Amino acid sequence: MVVLGVDPGITHLGLGVIQVEGGRGALKAFLLHGEVVETSSKEGAANRVGRIYERVRAALEAHAPEALAVEEQYFYRQNELAYKVGWALGAVLVAAHQRGVPVFAYGPMQVKQALVGHGHAPKEAVALAVRGALGLKEAPKPSHLADALAIALTHAFYARLSAAKPL
């Protein structure tokens, strides 16, 4: 199974593609691609969203994932941030739709539970779990890349349990 994980953001959007092999026994996961798409608030909204769309589309075309997993966003008092992250998420959803790739969403606690074993783990523990699961020499950096890979791994975990539900 190939999964594209996305940590959505308008300034920094993490993209991580993994391949997972194995059945009911132990899973082996491999890093296929990782990047952080950066945009600037000095750019117009159309340019920012367009560049995100192009990078997501390129990752989808290059790696042909079976699923795209995004981190659910929770904003309580940050309306402007939520609005702008929505721009990025919209670009991701359109790219997935055009390629016919189903989209799944996982909250931060689900990611921590799947990778570390409890929903209140620190970000550093999640990054170390990603490092271990992918056999990397060090934890992925920056954090947006680590989060994207964690989301992809979380989808592999839930898909294996047949508990994944499309967005």
Q: What is the pLDDT along the chain (167 residues), one digit of tens a residue?
A: 999 999 999 999 999 999 999 766 677 999 999 999 999 999 999 999 999 999 999 999 999 999 999 998 765 556 677 788 889 999 999 999 999 999 999 999 999 999 999 888 988 999 999 999 999 999 999 999 999 999 999 999 888 776 566 66
The class of domain 2-160 in CATH terms is alpha beta
Strand, helix or coil for residue 15: strand
Cβ atoms of 5 and 18 within 8 Å: the answer is yes
What pLDDT is attached to residue 160?
A: 77
Query: Annotation-wise, does 12 bind a ligand?
Result: no
Q: Token pair of 21, please?
A: 């092999």
Domain definitions of the chain by residue range:
2-160
Query: Annotation-wise, does 144 bind a ligand?
Result: yes
At 32, phi and psi to the nearest 5? Answer: -105, -35
Q: Token pair of 108, please?
A: 């931060």
The length of the chain in residues reads 167
Query: Annotation-wise, does 71 bind a ligand?
Result: yes
Residues with catalytic roles: 7, 71, 144
Compute the distance between CA of residue 134 and CA of residue 71 in angstroms, rounded to an integer.
19
The answer to whether the pTM exceeds 0.85 is yes
Compute the distance between CA of residue 6 and CA of residue 147 in angstroms, rounded to an integer.
8
